[in-house]
Amino acid sequence: MSIYLHDIPLSQAKKIFREALQQAGLWRVLRSEIIQLDENAPRRVLVEPVWALRSSPHYHASAMDGFAVRAEATSGAIPANPVDFDLPTAAQYVDTGDPLPAWANAVIPLENVESLLAAGGLAKDPRSPERIRIRAAVTPWSHVRPLGEDIVATQLVLPAGHIIRPYDLGAIAASGHVTVKVAEPPKVAILPTGSELVPLGADLQPGDILEYNSLVLAAQLKEMGATPTRYPITRDNLDEICARVSTAAQTHDLILLNAGSSAGTEDYASRVVERLGKLLVHGVAVRPGHPVILGLIERQDKALIPIVGVPGYPVSAALTVDIFVEEIIARWLGRHPLEMPLETVTITRRVTSSPGDDDFMRVAIGRVGEKTLAAPIARGAGVITSLVRADGLVIVPSGVQGLDAGERVQARLYRSRAEIDRTIFCIGSHDVILDVLAQFLADHERRLVSANVGSQGGLVALKRGEAHLAGSHLLDPETGNYNVRHIRQYLPGTAVRLVGLMKREQGLIVRRGNPKGIHSLTELARNEVSFINRQRGAGTRVLLDYHLDKLGIATAQIHGYADEEYTHLGVAAAIASGRVDCGLGIPAAAQALELDFVPLYQERYDLVILKQYAESDLLSPLFDVLKSQSFQNAVKALPGYDVSIMGNVFLEE
């Protein structure tokens, strides 16, 4: 009995095809290549994550046209009591982007100075005076782009599976790369068949049909990231079609055999597949696109490649590629399948549907008051303009005979919130493990976006409903416990789940070789030692203050206590640049910038998760990742981490 006579559900057809591709070893990235970073890179898919090779900027750069000075020397300057600087000993002119002199730590904008001659009077050229006068003091690092302001070496720039966008090129280039490793576009052959077909531009006669399906299909494939090849029309002859399919199969990864997939006397597609390979599916319970053919054919080298018999009607052909081919192309490129955002819509008029098929109904969508309305468009499989006019699709599922006017249903929009819908917002304490976590979550179709505002700032963000979770390592000095007291202080009455991420070392990050012999917090009180602190509310700063208090060291004794950075990598960058001698941080940040590390303490770093999200599908992959051995091994491979608590629930209320 012919397979065609027994339509199968769409989900079953896709399952059969997917399993066949898996068994043939074709459910993976087919090939990769290294390409130059140029204007041709956008829309290519990364097969490896891009990690920063260098910081950007890689030096302290002036952010303004003006004069580089020591900020401390401007102290006391006011309109009534100006301060003068002689050039070039006490001030030096810099253009935007110029490196700061080694002795300078601030820039005064050109418009904020009076350019003078040494003997008095205004200088002719304000950019080359002999003396400048200012009437307002500046703070250290004013109008300066410090090393690593944009990118810090070793940070994750883009994850694998990311589709490169034009502005990604700048970040990739700034991080030190001139090439990227991307998936090679799969090659797809499109073979139009039918003796009634004529090429575009032909003088049409009755019975002639313009062959434009291959044009549409090629454009769809190109948009998906594949490289299509449009073959000439093949007339309805089994041997000729088999010969052309066999030839195309030698140099392509997928064959789209367009038309001839029905059961008419001149419909040869199923026989072509049976002659050259294995017919898997002929007929799917979906409209339009009912007579779809799915199979595998064998090349001369015995390798198998998939073939899809695409129906001849234009709408059926286009939707067949969307329904069956896009998922395969996505897998071969290593990206997520394209998803159409959903919108709840109200049907404007009653429609009927075959109860045995999944019916892909094209609709025009508009908002009227508080309602989003969907008006059904002409549904013929040959009405190509129905796709042109459509704003989306409403799928009437098998078993449903139609929709009533006023019925609320889901529409798939052509005009994408998909990435946003997969985004997990993490606001709170910084740790480089969050970059590793982001890469693992990307493999689970989730995007982790983290903002570094400190542990306390993260708890406040949760209270305001601005995040799904927060990283926190707030020590309770009275109990020695972490985070619980602060959660109850900042999130009273809020249901949360406190999940352990890891234990980590905290210590002093110092320059390579530790030239100033800094081995403990007591060394911070030495006059010749300069320090960089974390921002107020950061768990690292809470830890520092706790131990300084135990040691009886006043913060006023520490040169640089008031100078702040917002991340551990920022602290490391300040030290690597020579800006300061040391800072409290984690060993991974020290290793990243080839600095030395003096271990002092071990602390617990947790994820504080609002319970409503902890139990959601959005965050479900997070807990899978925390349990996975591969993620735990990746964390253990970095210095200073203990994963023994990873995934443990310390509080749920």
Question: Distance between CA atoms of 405 and 60, rounded to whole angstroms?
Answer: 65
What pLDDT, in 10s, does the model give residues 147-204? 998 999 999 999 999 999 999 999 999 999 999 999 999 999 999 999 899 998 988 8
In a domain, 494, yes or no: yes
> Does residue 470 have a pLDDT over 70?
yes
Residues 112 and 249 grouped into a single domain: no
Cβ neighbours for 529, distance < 8 A, ≥ 6 positions apart: 516, 518, 523, 559, 581, 582
In a domain, 414, yes or no: yes
Averaged confidence pLDDT in the chain: 90
Distances (CA, A) of 54 to 142, 573, 592: 24, 11, 10
pLDDT, position 526: 95
Residues 161 and 284 grouped into a single domain: no
Amino acid at 479: T
Confidence of residue 385 (pLDDT cuts 50, 70, 90): low
Q: Where are the alpha helices (DSSP H) in 282-417?
A: 314-320, 326-333, 385-389
Cβ neighbours for 12, distance < 8 A, ≥ 6 positions apart: none
Tokens representing 8 are 């199968």
Question: Distance between CA atoms of 323 and 289, rounded to whole angstroms?
Answer: 9
Residues 572 and 639 grouped into a single domain: yes
Question: Distance between CA atoms of 145 and 57, rounded to whole angstroms?
Answer: 7
In a domain, 35, yes or no: no
Question: Distance between CA atoms of 17 and 281, rounded to whole angstroms?
Answer: 8
Q: If residue 216 lies in a helix (H) or strand (E), which one and from where to where?
A: helix 213-224
Q: Are 471 and 499 in contact (CB under 8 A)?
A: no
Q: 397, 418, 439: which is the final residue of a domain?
A: 418
Q: Which of 244, 248, 240 is nearest to 188 (CA)?
A: 248
Q: If residue 440 lies in a helix (H) or strand (E), which one and from where to where?
A: helix 433-442
Backbone angles phi, psi at 560, to 5 degrees: 110, 5
Q: What is the mean pLDDT of residues 292-306?
A: 94
Residues 309 and 376 grouped into a single domain: no
| CATH code for the domain in which residue 400 is found | 2.40.340.10
Query: CA neighbours within 13 Å on the CB side: how many for 477?
Result: 10
Q: 309, 333, 357: which is the final residue of a domain?
A: 333
Q: What is the mean pLDDT of residues 13-26?
A: 95
Residues 515 and 637 grouped into a single domain: yes
| CATH code for the domain in which residue 71 is found | 2.170.190.11
Question: Distance between CA atoms of 81 and 73, rounded to whole angstroms?
Answer: 14
pLDDT, position 415: 63
* Residues spanned by the domain of 166: 40-50+150-182
Place of tokens 């059904």: 376
Confidence of residue 417 (pLDDT cuts 50, 70, 90): low
Backbone angles phi, psi at 556, to 5 degrees: -65, -20
| CATH code for the domain in which residue 324 is found | 3.40.980.10
pLDDT, position 383: 60
> Does residue 650 have a pLDDT over 50?
yes
Q: What is the mean pLDDT of residues 449-475?
A: 85
Report which DSSP code applies to 524: G
Residues 303 and 388 grouped into a single domain: no
What pLDDT, in 10s, does the model give residues 578-618? 999 999 999 999 998 999 999 999 999 999 999 989 998 99
Q: Which of 191, 172, 333 is nearest to 255 (CA)?
A: 191
Do strands 564-565 and 531-534 pair parallel, antiparallel, or not at all (unpaired)? parallel
Backbone angles phi, psi at 281, to 5 degrees: -140, 135
> Does residue 119 have a pLDDT over 70?
yes
Q: Is 111 helix (H, G, I), strand (E, B) or coil?
A: helix
Lowest-pLDDT choice from 163-177, 376-390, 548-562, 631-645: 376-390
Dihedral sign for Cα atoms in the order 638, 644, 650, 652: positive
Domains in the chain: how many in total? Answer: 5
Q: Which of 446, 249, 228, 260 is nearest to 329 (CA)?
A: 228
What pLDDT, in 10s, does the model give residues 551-568? 999 999 999 999 999 888
Question: Distance between CA atoms of 448 and 517, rounded to whole angstroms?
Answer: 39
Q: If residue 609 lies in a helix (H) or strand (E), which one and from where to where?
A: strand 596-610
Top pLDDT among 221 and 339 is at: 221
Residues 254 and 161 grouped into a single domain: no
pLDDT, position 1: 42
Q: Are 618 and 468 in contact (CB under 8 A)?
A: yes
DSSP assignment of 340-363: PPEEEEEESS-EE--TTSEEEEEE
Q: Is 170 helix (H, G, I), strand (E, B) or coil?
A: helix
| CATH code for the domain in which residue 549 is found | 3.40.190.290
Tokens representing 587 are 């060993």
**Residues 212-246 as b or e (16 or more Cβ within 10 Å = b):** ebbebbbebbeebbbebbbbebbebeeeebbebbb
Tokens representing 15 are 């399952």
Residues 470 and 602 grouped into a single domain: yes
Residues 601 and 494 grouped into a single domain: yes
> Does residue 394 have a pLDDT over 80?
yes
Residues 497 and 637 grouped into a single domain: yes
In a domain, 34, yes or no: no
In a domain, 635, yes or no: yes
Q: Are 257 and 294 in contact (CB under 8 A)?
A: no
Q: Which of 17, 546, 568 is nearest to 282 (CA)?
A: 17
Backbone angles phi, psi at 321, to 5 degrees: -65, -40
Residues 435 and 564 grouped into a single domain: yes
Q: Are 321 and 312 in contact (CB under 8 A)?
A: no
Residues 262 and 405 grouped into a single domain: no
Q: Which of 346, 347, 329, 350 is nearest to 338 (CA)?
A: 329
Q: In the chain, what is the straight-line distance between the N-terminal and C-terminal CA atoms, in Å?
A: 61
> Does residue 433 have a pLDDT over 80?
yes
What pLDDT, in 10s, does the model give residues 217-242? 999 999 999 999 999 999 999 999 99
Top pLDDT among 313 and 532 is at: 532
Dihedral sign for Cα atoms in the order 516, 522, 524, 528: negative
What pLDDT, in 10s, does the model give residues 123-160? 889 999 999 999 999 999 999 999 998 999 999 999 99
- Which residues lie across from 281 on neighbouring strands? 294
Q: What is the mean pLDDT of residues 506-526?
A: 96
Q: Are 56 and 151 in contact (CB under 8 A)?
A: yes
In a domain, 578, yes or no: yes
Question: Distance between CA atoms of 237 and 32, rounded to whole angstroms?
Answer: 37
User: Would you state the torsion angle of the CA atoms of residues 217, 220, 221, 224, taken in this order, to the nearest 10 degrees?
Assistant: -170
Angle at CA of residue 452, ends 431 and 100, nearest 5°? 95
In a domain, 351, yes or no: yes
Distances (CA, A) of 7 to 268, 285, 286, 311: 18, 5, 9, 15
- How many of the other CB atoms lie within 10 Å of CB of 470? 34
Q: Where are the alpha helices (DSSP H) in 443-528?
A: 455-463, 484-490
pLDDT, position 398: 83
Q: 333, 354, 369: which is the final residue of a domain?
A: 333
